[in-house]
């Protein structure tokens, strides 16, 4: 293989950089000891994007979402694993999960969901010390050429708008039941 062929291949396979300076605060905070879920439990709803809170659970928008209306549901109590939850906490967590799905369905009409729990860093947990459930709405075509070719995800709605829509929907009487 010639030198110019090697250079061409290296350029084609080179890592592309998308500058995202707003993520620095997350990276810095990510190494801090403060848990984002415990912070949200203690803090205000709007500044923490909390769309629903109950005695045992909290539901908040992921500020680095995989898709619009990506919500995380977590117990109020700081525990790392599902089996550490009490029966009341498990029931409440799933009740909140159900309400969040109903709210997203009513507001966004997704065609499916990825719902999951990552236990431990090797399983993909970004916050491994506080168990949480990811609720990621999905639509046909939400994975297009941008993430595949350009390594960039296009988010069609800003977080504040998503927060307002979901919060209003969650607090409506049709979802609370």
pLDDT digits (tens, 9 = 90+) for 39-85: 999 999 999 999 999 999 999 999 999 899 999 999 999 999 999 99
Q: Which domains are present in the chain?
A: 21-176 (3.30.428.10)
**pLDDT grade for 172, boundaries at 50, 70 and 90:** confident
With vertex at residue 131, the alpha carbon angle to CA 122 and CA 173, rounded to the nearest 5 degrees, is 140
- Report the candidate in 108, 104, 74, 68 with the shortest Cα–Cα distance to residue 89: 74
Q: Which residue has the tokens 């999905």?
A: 138
The question of whether 130 is a catalytic residue gets the answer no
| pLDDT at res. 43 | 97
What pLDDT sits at residue 122? 83
pLDDT confidence band for 156 (50 / 70 / 90): confident
Whole-angstrom Cα Rg for the chain: 19
Catalytic pick from 56, 70, 130, 132?
132
Which tops the pLDDT comparison, 31 or 101? 101
More confidently predicted of 92 and 30: 92
Band of residue 145 on the pLDDT scale cut at 50, 70, 90: low
Instruction: Give the integer Cα–Cα distance in Å for 91 and 72.
Output: 16
pLDDT computed for residue 2 by the predictor: 64
Residue 32: pLDDT over 70: no
pTM of the model: 0.78
Q: How many residues does the chain have?
A: 177
Burial of residue 20 (number of CB atoms within 10 Å: 0-12, 13-18, 19+): exposed
Half-sphere exposure of 57 (CA within 13 A, CB side): 27
């Amino acid at each position: 293989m010639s030198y110019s062929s090697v250079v061409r291949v290296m350029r084609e396979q080179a890592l592309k950089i998308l500058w995202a300076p707003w993520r620095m605060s997350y990276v810095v905070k990510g190494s801090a000891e403060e848990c984002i879920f415990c912070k949200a439990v203690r803090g205000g709803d709007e500044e923490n994007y909390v769309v629903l809170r109950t005695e045992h659970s909290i539901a908040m928008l992921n500020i680095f979402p995989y898709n619009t209306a990506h919500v995380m549901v977590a117990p109020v109590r700081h525990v790392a694993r599902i089996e550490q939850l009490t029966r009341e906490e498990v029931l409440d967590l799933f009740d909140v999960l159900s309400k969040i799905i109903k709210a997203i369905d009513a507001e966004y009409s997704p065609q499916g969901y990825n719902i999951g729990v990552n236990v431990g860093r090797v399983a993909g947990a970004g916050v491994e010390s506080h168990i949480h459930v990811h609720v990621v709405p999905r639509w046909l075509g939400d994975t297009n050429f941008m993430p595949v070719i350009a390594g960039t995800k296009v988010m069609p709605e800003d977080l504040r708008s998503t927060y307002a829509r979901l919060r209003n929907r969650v607090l409506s009487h049709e979802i609370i039941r």
